[in-house]
Amino acid sequence: MTGDHLIGSFLEMMSAERGAAKNTIDAYRRDLTDYAGFVKAQKQTLLTAPRETVTAYLDDLRSQGLSASSSARRLSAIRQFHRFLCADNLRGDDPTRIVSSPKSRRALPKVLSIAEVDKLLTTAEAEANAAGSPQKQAAALRLYLLLELLYATGMRVSELVSLKRSAVMRDASFITIIGKGNKERVVPVNDRARDAIRVYLKTLEPGAYLFPATGAEGYLSRQVFARDLKGLAGRAGISSARVAPHVLRHAFASHLLGGGADLRVVQMLLGHADISTTQIYTHVLDEKLRSLVEQHHPLSDSAK
């Protein structure tokens, strides 16, 4: 089989068996085609290229000025591709098995304090309860519910705006979220969010989505929510540059960990496939451990 055929078979598997999105498939195709071109230039094939070729490819990417994070993404695609070749008995060894991923310092996520999130929620709730035109009040109530659900569950913004109405029709303490790759996860919903859902549903016309819109997708766009959220932040006295939907997701995770939640529980709630993604929040745990040591160590000043 040619390199193109091998890559095509891998991409078909990713789409059919793992439900990879089109953008993901396109990214894998670009990365693997580039890798295949490098392998061919070494007068090798994808079925014979050794570990040294993989490391040489990464060195070549670095010499081109590609960032460590981008190189790591390409290695991830190459690693999954070679695992596929081994699983299908197309080659007997995996040349990426002991290749280290390029390291880069991940930026800490922007996080709002608990007091700032409370200020956002309080302002949104007050606006939802304020007198005004039916259209204005409906928009304020929608924004309040979006904010309550986002901070209560830590959903991705794409998961939030596309929620089906059926997901919240029952007065339950949990809702089922359809995440990446159509994977389902069940997350708890607090009393405040459930109360907001009840009020909101009374104003909603029949339809499939919880946050319907007239666009092609049939539900509220992420951009509209982000715009409305920044406007709310300004009215709450918080810099709009610090507030975005993903910042509330980060706050959800950080505040849970700061309150003592287990990292793997937070991983499950966020819908991360790999705990290494969730570990970006361990700065919260590091700070908590430092405080515990300072407070309880027998030689620390605070313990005396």
Residue 186 β-bridge partners: 176
Residue among 83, 119, 246, 283 flagged as catalytic: 246
Residue among 74, 156, 250, 255 flagged as catalytic: 156
Q: Which pTM was predicted?
A: 0.62
d(CA 292, CA 247): 27
- The 10s digit of each residue's pLDDT in 48-95 is 999 999 999 999 998 888 888 889 889 999 999 999 999 999 999 999
- The 10s digit of each residue's pLDDT in 86-139 is 999 999 999 998 888 777 555 556 779 999 999 999 999 999 999 788 889 999
Q: Is 82 a catalytic residue?
A: no
Rounded to the nearest 10 degrees, the angle between the axes of helix 245-258 and helix 222-235 is 70
Q: Is 194 a catalytic residue?
A: no
Q: Is 180 a catalytic residue?
A: yes
Residue among 29, 164, 180, 283 flagged as catalytic: 180
Residue among 74, 82, 142, 249 flagged as catalytic: 249
- The 10s digit of each residue's pLDDT in 265-295 is 989 999 988 877 787 776 555 555 445 445 5
Reported as half-sphere exposure (CB side, CA atoms, 13 A), residue 66 has a value of 18
d(CA 64, CA 297): 49
Rounded to the nearest 10 degrees, the angle between the axes of helix 68-87 and helix 22-41 is 90
What radius of gyration, in Å, describes the C-alpha atoms of the chain? 24
